[in-house]
Each structure stands twice: as C-alpha cells, then as structure tokens.
C-alpha cells in the first residue's frame, strides 16, 4: 500500500519524474481516451515488470535494454491487437499513441530501476502505483481540457460498442467554450498549469533546491 | 497531396512536436543549450531518415505480403535500436568530428518516441516511397528548427523572474503552448 501511494504522489511519473509527457499531451482531448490509455499503460507496466522481475537473473548485463524493450513491445502488441479486435473505434482514436507505449520512458525506466533489482511482488506493486499515478494525472489533464473546451465529460463513447450505452455528462450550466483547450496548444497549457498547481500544493519547501 | 505541400505541412503546420507531441522528452529535457539542441535535432533527423526508409521497405515488402502487420511495433523498435548502434559504430570509426557533435545523443535516441512515431505515421498516412522521404526530411527539419528556437527562448527565460511554482518545466510547457498556437496559424 505504501508503494502504491509512493507511486501516486512522491514518485508521480508525470509530475515528479517528468516521464511519459507524450501521451499525457496527446490522448487527453477526451476523458475517455485518457483513462483508457491509463489502463493500457497499467497493463503493460504490470506485465513487463513481472516478466522482467522473473527473468532478471537470466539476462546478461550488456543486452539488458534490448531484451527489456522486446518484452515491453510484446505486451504492447498484445493490447494493441485486443483493442483493435474488440473496440475498433477506440483503436482509431488512440492511433499511433497505442503502439508508442513501447517507447514510453516510464515503462523502460521502471524495468531498469525497479524490476531488474527487486522481487516479483514488489515490482508488481510498484507497477500498480506508478501506473495509477500516471492514469490519475492524464485523467486530470483530460478532465480540465474537456470541461473547458466542450463542457462535457465523456465517460463512454467509443466504449459503447461493448457496454451498449453512451455516457456523456454535461457539467456546468454555461458552456465556457474555450476552444483553445481542444487544440494541441491547449494540451501544453493545461499540463503546464496543472504541473504548477501540483508544485504549489505538494512541493512547498523543495522548489528552490530543485531548480 | 503534392510533395511540396507534404514538406511544408510537416515542417510548419503539422510539426511533430507541436501537433503530434512526439519527442517531448528531449524537447523539454535537453533543449536548454542552443548547441545541444542543434546536435540533438541533427542526430534525430539522421537516425529517423535511415531507419524510416528501412522500416518502410520492410513493412511493405515483408510484413504486408506475409500478412503479419501486427508485428510492426516489435520490428520497428528493433530496426531503430539496431540502426542507432550501427550508426554510432560507423561514425565513431569513420567520422570522429561528427561523432563529437552527435555521440552523446545517439544512445538516447534508441528509445525516443519521435523516431518510432514518424515511422508509424508514414504507414498510417499510406504515403508512397517519395512522399515518405519528403515527410521524414520535413519532420526532422521541423523538429530541429523548433528545438533550436525553443532553446534560445529558454536561455533568455532563465534570466527572467518566474513565479516559484512555475519555474522549470511548467513555464516551458506554457511557452510550448504559445508556440503551438503560432505554428498552427501558418496554415491560413
């Protein structure tokens, strides 16, 4: 449990370690694509961490990174095929960012820093913590962007293929209609402001040292 | 689409950093000094040019005929890793001058999403061979130009007072946002 909270706050992959910024910007135009991206990352991170932790003694030091990348790419391909088969609309929405999970620095980073040193259980817990931390951040960015731009929260739209119904909430009585947040520029702005807020709330004393 | 419009779009209006968010890590992380930014941009362009062409040929002449398109993620990652290794070896032996400029960046590129992303985009846009080459060169040029521009802005920014909670990455992201707004207007 401590490891999981550690992954969400003290070692938050996006805000503290500054890894995985690419999906945090790219798939956050709707809430739905963000949290599903988060689940995909948790899936890949969990299985790659467990696999790496199991085989770590068999891998020679100098081919460590290529072996880890292939393990990660295998799980990414697995989830790519699953989503393409069962939720084709979502596969279109996520586009190249789904296969790009392979080079998401969070996953390779955790494989090298944690899974290749610790036991299987610890690696799995670390994967869940870091994965949840990532999911929470990109969901928050998506929430901010979608509410400000369209005044909606899309909980199920592409997913309605398998669940059977759509679920889109309208939030505020007035539509703010800040269209800039729907564009790529808005993604940078939203992430920048959220990161500043996170620094303000959690990093009170450490700002001057880290910069 | 004509070759010229592909080139202009990939450099300006559909810049891979600002509209596709590829290569954000080096963009935010290493672009603090102008010279480093230039070296990074040139290294990425070079690697993506060679590995992109090889990936394109292997995809259309090996994976498509054998109906194993789902292997493209694993294959492209391997191609890029192998290319980075061999480019490093070749320039270290043959062109030590260039190695001084690019050497420290090459290992970082192996797991860079700009390189892998461009090879995926080429397939998704269904470009033919010449369009692929133009798109790759345009994207590389757009990446280099932007990362250089951005480094110069950040050097100036270091001397300005910024709110403590915005220091570092937050203000960098906001500047990137403003640049994205400017670049998206070039199309009109």
User: A193 to chain B: which residues are within 8 Å by CB?
Assistant: 170, 174
A142-167 residue pLDDT tens: 998 988 888 888 888 877 777 777 77
B3-48 residue pLDDT tens: 888 888 888 888 888 888 888 877 776 656 777 788 888 888 988 9
SS3 call for B84: helix
SS3 call for A78: helix
Give the per-residue pLDDT at A80: 93
User: How many residue pairs bridge chain A and chain B with CB atoms within 8 Å of each other?
Assistant: 127
Domain residue ranges in chain A: 2-141+184-199
User: B67 to chain A: which residues are within 8 Å by CB?
Assistant: none
- Name the residue of chain A whose CA is nearest to B120's CA: A96
Element (H, E) at A167: strand A167-170
Q: What angle do CA A129, A134, A136 make, to 5 degrees?
A: 95
Give the per-residue pLDDT at A209: 43
Q: Which residues pair with A168 in a beta bridge?
A: A154
Is B108 an interface residue toward A (CB < 8 Å)? Answer: no
Look at residue B65 and tell me whether its pLDDT is greater than 50: yes
Give the per-residue pLDDT at A136: 92
List C-alpha distances in Å: B27 to A130, B40, B87, B113, B144. 23, 9, 22, 11, 10
Residue contact A73–B174, C-beta within 8 A: no
ipTM value of the model?
0.84
Strands A152-156 and A167-170: antiparallel
Query: Is A26 in contact with A111 (CB distance < 8 Å)?
Result: no
- Spatial CB neighbours of A181, under 8 Å, sequence gap ≥ 6: A144, A145, A146, A148, A149, A187, A189, A190
Residue contact A199–B124, C-beta within 8 A: no
- Spatial CB neighbours of A10, under 8 Å, sequence gap ≥ 6: A16
- Name the residue of chain A whose CA is nearest to B119's CA: A96
DSSP state of A154: E
Domain residue ranges in chain B: 3-187
Give the per-residue pLDDT at B23: 81
Look at residue A208 and tell me whether its pLDDT is greater than 50: no
Give the model's confidence band at A65: pLDDT under 50 very low, under 70 low, under 90 confident, else very high.
confident
DSSP state of A56: G
B76-87 residue pLDDT tens: 998 988 888 888
CB interface of A with B, residues 177-206, below 8 Å? 180, 183-189, 191-193, 195-197, 199-200, 203
Look at residue A211 and tell me whether its pLDDT is greater than 50: no
A2-55 residue pLDDT tens: 777 877 877 888 887 778 888 888 888 889 899 999 999 999 999 999 999 999
Tell me the C-alpha distance between A62 and B176, whole Å.
Answer: 37
Tokens of B132: 């692929």
Query: Is B164 in contact with A207 (CB distance < 8 Å)?
Result: yes
């Amino acid at each position: 449990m401590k490891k999981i909270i550690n992954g969400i706050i003290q070692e938050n992959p996006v805000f503290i370690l500054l890894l995985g910024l690419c999906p945090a910007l790219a798939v956050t135009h709707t809430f739905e694509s963000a949290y599903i991206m988060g689940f995909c990352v948790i899936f890949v991170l969990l299985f790659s961490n467990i696999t790496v932790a199991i085989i770590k003694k068999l891998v020679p030091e100098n081919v460590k990174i290529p072996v880890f990348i292939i393990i990660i790419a295998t799980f990414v391909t697995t989830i790519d095929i699953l989503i393409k088969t069962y939720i084709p609309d979502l596969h279109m929405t996520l586009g190249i960012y789904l296969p790009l999970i392979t080079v998401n620095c969070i996953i390779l980073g955790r494989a090298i820093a944690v899974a290749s040193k610790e036991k299987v259980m610890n690696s799995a817990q670390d994967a869940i913590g870091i994965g949840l931390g990532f999911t929470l951040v990109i969901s928050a960015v998506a929430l901010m962007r979608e509410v400000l731009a369209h005044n909606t929260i899309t909980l199920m739209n592409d997913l309605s293929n398998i669940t059977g119904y759509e679920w889109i909430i309208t939030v505020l009585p007035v539509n703010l209609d800040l269209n800039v947040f729907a564009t790529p520029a808005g993604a940078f702005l939203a992430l920048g402001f959220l990161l500043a807020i996170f620094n303000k709330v959690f990093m009170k004393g450490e700002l001057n040292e880290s910069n | 689409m004509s070759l010229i419009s592909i080139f202009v779009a990939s450099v300006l209006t559909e810049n891979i950093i600002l509209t596709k968010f590829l290569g954000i890590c080096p963009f935010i992380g290493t672009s603090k000094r102008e010279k480093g930014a230039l070296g990074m941009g040139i290294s990425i362009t070079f690697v993506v040019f060679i590995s992109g062409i090889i990936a394109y040929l292997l995809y259309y002449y090996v994976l498509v005929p054998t109906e194993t398109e789902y292997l493209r993620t694993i294959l492209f990652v391997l191609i890029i890793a192998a290319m980075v290794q061999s480019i490093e070896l070749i320039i270290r032996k043959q062109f030590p001058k260039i190695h001084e400029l690019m050497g420290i960046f090459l290992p970082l590129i192996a797991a860079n999403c700009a390189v892998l992303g461009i090879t995926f985009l080429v397939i998704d846009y269904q470009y033919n061979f010449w369009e692929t080459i133009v798109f790759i060169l345009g994207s590389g040029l757009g990446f280099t130009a932007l990362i250089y521009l951005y480094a110069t802005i950040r050097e100036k920014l270091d001397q300005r007072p910024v709110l403590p909670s915005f220091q570092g990455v937050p203000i960098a992201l906001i500047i990137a946002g403003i640049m994205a707004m400017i670049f998206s207007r070039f199309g009109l």
